[in-house]
Structure 1
Amino acid sequence: MKVSFIGLGVMGFPMAGHLTKYGFDVTVFNRTHTKAQEWATQYQGKAVSTVEECVKDADVVLLCVGNDDDVRSMTTSELGALRFMKAGSVLVDHTTTSASLSEELSQAAQQVQVEFMDAPVSGGQSGAENGVLTIMCGGSQPLFNKLQPVFNAYGKSSVLMGEVGQGQRAKMVNQICIAGALRGLSEGLLLAQESGLDIANLVNCLKNGAAGSWQMENRAVTMSENEYDFGFAIDWMIKDLGFCLDEASKHGLNLAHTKQTYDDYVTLAAAGDNRMDTSVLHKAVQKTAKQ
């Protein structure tokens, strides 16, 4: 199977690398070509300088870029992948986007006899590097079955959530839950710190109980030390929570806690913390609690 990968950021770079380790014939494209060359050197794959070269012979094209407009640029524009992919091939979008974009891409793919699946991932940079991502998929069951060998290269779990767009909606729920866990953890840490509790000891006590979470085990101590530079920048979380709020609005839902977290991240980004990771929410909660 010939596989192409478009987008070699902190997620795509190791994901594409795992594919070569699983024996796939991999060709990559990145808008910054030096990054693609670096990947090819590290993983003994093939780097090309245009999307057309990347996808024209591929059986499966995988995409992991930044936002809806980036996806359109790489897929449906005049120089995008769908213009050059062969009939019967498959396009998989691992980018976190709006559900409406997934539906748009599915229709565009059908017009050129290409199958499509939205498949956003969760697990962060470490999950991508270790090949243990969770993949939330929207599309048909036969296509999901067909893609299992690909997903197994970098995923610990892949689940078909329903038709096209449902993968993105599942990712929205994922981001809402992360935001909620971080807000609760931030408030809990404030009380713990003001009460004189040893944070590392507290985490060791709580992590295996009902309050335990990935955020607690991996971010509580660093949050208590005001260290927030660990990967998934709040620029991206603002984008993701924006999708959540838009989708909620379509269903007449008012997600108050998610909106508050979104607003806090926007304020933090404007103050210069836009490249800090999502645990920087702790700063906003601290400020509010001490007013």
Structure 2
Amino acid sequence: MHIGFIGLGRMGWLMAANLAKAGVPLTVWNRSRSKSVALVEHYPEVHIAEDPAQIAQDCDLVFTMIADDEAARAVYFGQESGLIAPLNRRAKAWVEMSTISPALSLEIASLAASHNVIYVDAPVSGSLNAAEAGELVFMVGTSAGLSPEIHTSLALMGKSVCQMGEAGSGHAAKLLINSVIHSQNQIVGEILALAASCNIDRAALMTLLGDSAAGSPMIRFRTPLYLGENDEVTFALSLAKKDMQLAQDLADSRGHRFAQISTNLDQLKSAEAVGFGEKDMAAIAQFIAGSQLGNQ
């Protein structure tokens, strides 16, 4: 079983590294070749494909993790070099792990079926630390079930697989989970701004929050970022906005309007508009604090 992995962002790189570490025959491709080269420097047995089409030609099972719908369309649907392009394909199974719209997921599923390729959507939940430790959670949507090969590969990268339903339901579930995460991110920013006006020690508050019933792995992982103790970007605010836009679009497509989703999206749009887009999503706290100062 030769596996292909497309998309070596920080999360994808760590996931591919876990496959390589386990000795899985692996070929990778990324739009920025330097990330593929960096993986090969750590794991010399890994091969680098020239384009996504080569992945489809050389690999039995393909995993993909791309930034957004636009990038996914470019990588998958390119007429000459895209993942769908080769007629002499070897790949017979495709696991899509990006955070993309359920509508695009269904489009991919239909196209995969037309090429007799088994399609599984399996986006992930977890921090970079969880990715490195192989403790991610997969939200799976498939009409075909998981083959032993797919299940074994997922087990090398994660700790659990949650079956959500048919194709597209995994991507929908990811938007729902991320809506909760981004809502937590929003309220942490708000309570930190309120704490400052109440002369409450922010570090003590975050310790209390992490130990309380309201704490979560996301909050504990990002506490140094909320407190400004480092400026590492683990998940860009612009990607958080993208997630919430997809969640809003999903709600709109079903005739719903939810206050929390709309509020989070509006705040993230405002923060991105004034230059916070490339900062970690925890920078929403800086944005909110600045907004409150401006209102005084």
TM-score, L = length of structure 2: 0.90
The alpha-carbon distance between structure 1 residues 268 and 202, as it changes in their structure 2 partners (threshold 3 A), is closer
Deviates more, 1:85-94 or 1:232-241: 85-94
Alignment of 1:202-217 (within 5 A): 202-217=205-220
Identical residues among aligned pairs (%) = 29
Aligned residue number for residue 26 of structure 2: 26
CA drift of 1:141 comes to: 5.7
Q: Secondary structure at the match of 2:267?
A: helix
In 1: Cα distance, 2:242 partner to 2:281 partner? 12
In 2: Cα distance, 1:160 partner to 1:123 partner? 17
TM-score, L = length of structure 1: 0.91
In 1: Cα distance, 2:222 partner to 2:29 partner? 33
Which amino acid letter does the alignment assign opposite residue 191 of structure 2?
Answer: G
In 1: Cα distance, 2:60 partner to 2:189 partner? 46
Q: Does 1:116 align with 2:114?
A: no
In 2: Cα distance, 1:195 partner to 1:162 partner? 47
Contact 1:133/1:155 (<8 A) preserved: yes
Aligned residue number for residue 169 of structure 1: 172
Contact 2:124/2:174 (<8 A) preserved: yes
- The root-mean-square deviation of aligned C-alpha atoms, in Å, is 2.1
Contact 2:102/2:172 (<8 A) preserved: yes
The counterpart of 1:80, out of the listed 79, 82, 87, is 82
Aligned residue number for residue 185 of structure 1: 188
After superposition, what is the alpha-carbon deviation per residue over 1:106-159, rounded to whole angstroms, capped at 9, x for unaligned?
110111110101111122333322322221111036326541111111112221
Aligned residue number for residue 62 of structure 1: 63
Deviates more, 1:257-266 or 1:83-92: 83-92
Q: Secondary structure at the match of 1:190?
A: helix
In 2: Cα distance, 1:28 partner to 1:224 partner? 37
The counterpart of 1:151, out of the listed 151, 154, 158, is 154
After superposition, what is the alpha-carbon deviation per residue over 1:179-205, rounded to whole angstroms, capped at 9, x for unaligned?
211222222222323223333333333
Alignment of 1:210-289 (within 5 A): 210-225=213-228, 229-289=232-292
Which amino acid letter does the alignment assign opposite residue 71 of structure 2?
Answer: D
In 2: Cα distance, 1:28 partner to 1:216 partner? 32
In 2: Cα distance, 1:150 partner to 1:227 partner? 34
Contact 1:18/1:131 (<8 A) preserved: yes
Point out where structure 2 has 5 or more consecutive residues left out of the alignment.
none
In 2: Cα distance, 1:99 partner to 1:28 partner? 25
In 2: Cα distance, 1:257 partner to 1:198 partner? 28
Q: Secondary structure at the match of 2:8?
A: coil
The counterpart of 1:126, out of the listed 112, 129, 133, is 129
Point out where structure 1 has 5 or more consecutive residues left out of the alignment.
none
CA drift of 1:289 comes to: 4.1
May I ask how many residue pairs the two structures share in their alignment? Answer: 291
CA drift of 1:60 comes to: 0.6
